Every structure is written in structure tokens, then in C-alpha cells.
Structure 1
Amino acid sequence: MADIFDVIADGTRREILQLLLRRSSDGHEGTSVSEIVAEIGVSQPTISKHLKVLREAGLVSVREVGQHRFYSLSPAPLEVVDDWLVPFFVDEAELAEEVAAQLPGTLPEPAARMAESVGRAAASAKNVVQSALRRLGA
């Protein structure tokens, strides 16, 4: 499998992922290749090649209905990217110290791992909200 960073490095593949994200949030259960071609404005063979790379990376799933293929976003592999990016936006050591200062005593190891996970998720959500607000000009 290709490195996830190599897969999303291509602008056309990012456009496809963004399109699938928009359409899934609009309630679509899949997007056909012809719809992707029409929206992005790139040839069908080019879109098909990019969809193959995205499928092999696990970023999209495909549902076949007759001779038609409908693609949907499968964002789980992007968690690697998210985990890599979060430290650039949040000082994890500072976050861990803040959490530890508020707790009486030391956490058992499973609870400490869970707290770290929750902290990362919160930092990621904060970053998503801040990015969205910047795009909206707020």
C-alpha cells in the first residue's frame, strides 16, 4: 500500500476526496465516476486512475450496480495524517500537564492512554473548527 502522504499529495485526489466528503454530508450514498468527472473537469481515464489509487489506500469504497460504480469516502486512513498534524497545533506535553494537574494522583496506564486519545481528539476537533471559521472569514 502506498504511503498515505503520497496518496493525498496529488491535488486531483484531494479534490476527489473533498467532493466525496461534500456529497456524503449532503446525504448521497455514493458518487458515480461520471459525476466526479463532471464536477472536477478531468478526463474519465484520469479520474479512474486516481480512484484506483484512493481505493488501494483504503480512502474510498466502491459499490457496483450493474456496470456503474459508486464511490464513497472512507476517511479512517486519514487518522495517520491527523495524528501527524496534531502536534503542530497543540503542545501535547502542555496538554498532558494540564490534565495531570487537575487529577488527584497518577492515572492507571489504560486511563492515561485514554486521556491522551481524548486530548488528541479534542485538539483535532478544535483545529477543524478553527479552519472552518477561517474559511468562512469569521
Structure 2
Amino acid sequence: MTDIFDVIADGTRRDILRLLLSESAEGDGGTSVTQIVSQLGISQPTVSKHLKVLREANLVTVREEGQRRFYSLSVGPLEEVDDWLVPFLIDAYGDQAPMIDIPFAPLPAATAHAAEVVGRAAASAKHVVTSALRKLGT
């Protein structure tokens, strides 16, 4: 397997990953090579070369539709980078680590509803337990 750090060391590949991240916030259909070429202003062969490296590192997935290919970000391999980097941040900042603003795609409606139901159930359970402990005098 290619070293993830070698893969993300290239600025063009990081630009492609950023673009795929921002596009994933708008929808989950994937981003075509044509869109990547257009938005980044680099040649199609260059984009294809970098997408191949990203695909081999499992950082992107591809969906084929006829002659067109749509790429989506796959963040799982970046956990290795996260695991390596976090101890340095903790050591450098301790409890004063800066807040990192990460744009996330909105949850699908069904997932958001399920999260809300689970959250309400957890709050209700906490209330029941807290009330019971008060009655017991603890």
C-alpha cells in the first residue's frame, strides 16, 4: 500500500481532495472528472493521473456511468494521518487546542430523524434516572 503521507504530500491531490469534500457537502452523486478539470483549471490527463493515485490509496471511490466517472471522497484512510497527528496537537496545545471548523455535509433526513429520536430517548432516560436518584436521596 502507498504511504498515505506520500499521497497527500502533493498539492494537486490535496486540491482534488478539498474539492471532493466541498462537493460532497452539496450532494452525494460524486464529482465528474470534467467538473474537477473545470474547477481546478488543470488538464484532464493530470487530473486522471492524480485520481488514479488517490484511488489506489483508497482516498476516493469511483462510480461509472457509461463513459463518465464520478469520484467521491473516502475519508477512512485519513484516520491514519489523524492518529499520527493528534498526539502532536495534544502535546503542543493540551486542553487549549484550537477549535477546528470542519464543513460537514448535512445528514440525510432519515438519519437526522433517527439521531433526534435517539437523543430524546437518551434525555428521557437521563431524566428518569436523575429523578429516581433524587427520590433515593443520593
What TM-score range do you get, normalising by the shorter chain?
Answer: 0.5 to 0.7
Structure 2 Cα separation of the partners of residues 7 and 17 of structure 1: 11
The corresponding residue for 2:52 is 52
Partner of 2:21: 21
- Equivalence for 2:86: 86
Cα displacement string for residues 33-69 of structure 1 (whole angstroms, at most 9, x for unaligned residues) = 0000001111000000000000000000000000000
2:49 and 2:24 map into 1 onto residues whose CA distance is 21
Deviation at 1:29, TM superposition (A): 1.6
Q: Partner residue of 1:62? A: 62
Q: Distance in 2 between matches of 1:50 and 1:20?
A: 13
Runs of 4 or more, structure 1, over 2 Å off, are: none
Secondary structure in 1 matching 2:101: helix
Structure-1 residue corresponding to 2:101: 132
Tell me, which stretches of 5 or more residues in structure 1 are unaligned?
96-125, 134-138
Code of the residue aligned with 2:23 in structure 1: it is: R
Whole-angstrom CA distance in 1 between matches of 2:64 and 2:27: 18
Normalising by structure 1, we get a TM-score of 0.67
C-alpha deviation, 1:86, in angstroms: 0.2
- Greater relative contact order: 1 or 2 (C-alpha under 8 angstroms, separation 6 or more)? 2
Q: Report the number of matched residues.
A: 101
Question: How far apart in 1 are the matches of 2:77 and 2:27?
Answer: 22
* RMSD across aligned positions (CA): 2.3
User: How many angstroms apart in 2 are the aligned matches of 1:27 and 1:64?
Assistant: 17
Q: Could you list the runs of 5+ residues in structure 2 that have no partner in the other structure?
A: 103-138
TM-score (norm 2): 0.67
| Residue 28 of structure 1: how far off its partner (Å) | 3.6
Deviations 1:64-83 (A, max 9, x none): 00000000000100000000
Tell me which residue corresponds to 1:110.
Answer: none
Based on CA coordinates, which of the two structures has the bigger radius of gyration?
Answer: 2
Q: Establish whether residue 10 from structure 1 lines up as the match of residue 21 from structure 2.
A: no
